[in-house]
Structure 1
Amino acid sequence: MTSFAVQRSGRPTTADELAPLAFAGYAHFTAMQVRGGRIRGLDLHLERLRYASTELFGEAVPDDRVRALLRAALEAGPADLSLTATVYSTAGEFTVAGPDAEVEVLVRTGPAASGPRGPLALAAVAYERVLPAVKHVGEVAKTYFLRQAVEQGFDDAAFVDRRGRLTEGSIWNLAFWDGDAVVWPEGELLGGTTMGIVRRQLDRLGVPQRVEEVTLADLPALAGAVVMNSWTPGVAVHRVGSVSLPEAPSFLAVLHQAYEAEPPTSP
């Protein structure tokens, strides 16, 4: 029988324990796909949690402890699954953390996922996330703009900052292709773990890449675009706003090759 887990500090959690978290907005998380009990870019997930915990709470759960909690959750489920680790403080929100506040980790598992097939059409939305370098839970705008985009006939949304730069998607990183090199958008955005995996493996594969500003006006000169997140290293984007883009299958192939080159590890 297949079973998934919701664990707090390594043990099954109860409804009473979850109730204070139901509407909590001061927490951060990382999401990953587990295959065969192993995780690609585990070091990047741990780094993300350390950074965000220090930023939000002034302290971080030690890596060894986080890894033990991940292992406990994986042991309760199948070899292939989705896993989300959420870190929060027992002080809650709208308060100043006192000396008795503790930083806790909630680990939740569910069915494995691989994302949409694409190609996708993205609405261009003027929006800048608060604390963009932190993958925090206070993200009502992402779902709001996603739903607005779907109502307008798009699949999802891409964000444009006050300088007119494309930065990221609702739950995605953006990447572009000029025909020879991967172009990562410059701006205030969340550096995804899949993005980190792909970037370091592209370096090892000798594939050119660079970071530069990308605006809607720049898109016609580019040869392709994708979105990526923990589900997948690349889903083709064929339109952003009113601007069409080629699907660039060779670009997708390079990104998937880079991702597959990353050796998965066990927690």
Structure 2
Amino acid sequence: MTELDGRPVDLASLQKLALVGYGHFTSMRIDDLRVRGLTLHLERLVRDCKIVFGEDLSPERVLDHVRRAVNGMKRSMVARVTVFDPGLDMGRPADNGQPGILVTIRSAGAIPPPPLRVQPIQYERDLPQVKHIGLFGALHGRRQAQLAGADDALFHSTDGIISEGGTWNVGFILNGQVVWPEADVLPGVTMALLQQSAHQHVIRPVSLDEARAAEAAFATNTTIGVRAISVIGDTELAADHPLLRELQEAYLADEGELL
């Protein structure tokens, strides 16, 4: 299912999206017509549209298009909402346009998926506060990690400070606390939901050496929930730490907001 502004998308619009590659998005997991962090997803789209296009995006308009695409189906799925301007000229990106709303639907897998093996890769995203569609650097890092035998990349700065993963936030359990890296990272919805839980959360810089010495580590995003990280580089970590299980249970206990 792929619709642009509530209508079947035409090839010319998709070519513009592919060839110009300027826009932003959010992906929301829908289970039984409920979305964990739905309000946060909508706030992200509104905030990012102002940054990327200088336009006010109506959250009601977004919801209308997502509901139309979902069409009452109660299976588990992921709806990706991409905001881009089908009329954007690469030579004149500052010209005011009319961003459209592209909604794509795909099936969602069970959560949490099996533990993740990650390879440290030096990389820092462009405009990290925006969930934009410029994924070349992140996917290139993921490719490098997979060629090294891992599942995904764990990004760090030139001085070895951890930031995030390929398409996910990362957290660590250090000295019995949930620690999130203080760095320029995408403000993830799942991360925000977990930080609202009753557990003690700390945000501070985390070095690569400290990450390898963690009691446990995990990746978070809307599709995978809270996924254990079992290997960083050549260092094995516990994938069944009690606090990690508590975070997974807390996330699954969140019924979400009705779409």
Q: TM-score, normalised by structure 2?
A: 0.92
Letter of the 1:212 partner, please give it. R
Residue 6 (structure 1) aligns with: 2
User: Is the contact made by 1:49 and 1:60 (CA closer than 8 Å) also made in structure 2?
Assistant: no
Q: In structure 2, which of residues 172, 177, 190 is the aligned counterpart of residue 194 of structure 1?
A: 190
SS at match of 1:219: helix
Post-superposition CA distance 1:141-168 (Å, at most 9, x none): 1111111111111111100013321110
Q: Cα 1:119–1:263, aligned 2, differ >3 Å: closer, same or farther? A: closer
Moved over 6 A (4+): none
Separation (CA, whole Å) in 2 of partners of 1:46 and 1:92:
27
CA deviation profile, 1:38-81 (whole Å, cap 9, x unmatched): 21100110111111111111113111111111111111755321
Q: Secondary structure at the match of 2:68?
A: helix
Task: State the shift of 1:87 in Å.
Answer: 0.4
On the 8 A contact 2:191/2:221 being kept in 1, the answer is: yes
- Match of residue 59 from structure 2: 63
* Superposition TM-score, scaled by structure 1 size: 0.89
Tell me whether 1:93 sits opposite 2:111 in the alignment. Answer: no
In the alignment, does 2:182 pair up with 1:182? no
Letter in 1 for 2:253: A
1:42 to 38, 41, 44: 38
| Total equivalences in the alignment | 258
1:31 aligned residue: 27
Q: What are the ranges of 5 or more consecutive residues in structure 1 without an aligned counterpart? A: none
Q: Which residue pairs with 2:230 in the alignment?
A: 238
Identical counterparts, % of pairs = 32
- Residue type at the aligned position of 1:72: R
SS of 2:258 mapped into structure 1: coil
Q: In the alignment, does 2:213 pair up with 1:225? A: no
Specify the SS of the correspondent of 2:67.
helix
Q: Distance in 1 between matches of 2:111 and 2:185?
A: 21
Query: Residues 252 and 232 from structure 1, CA distance in 2 versus in 1: closer, same or farther, beyond 3 angstroms?
Result: farther
Q: Distance in 2 between matches of 1:226 and 1:120?
A: 8
With 89-98 and 103-112 compared, the bigger mean Cα shift is at 89-98
The Cα RMSD (Å) is 1.9
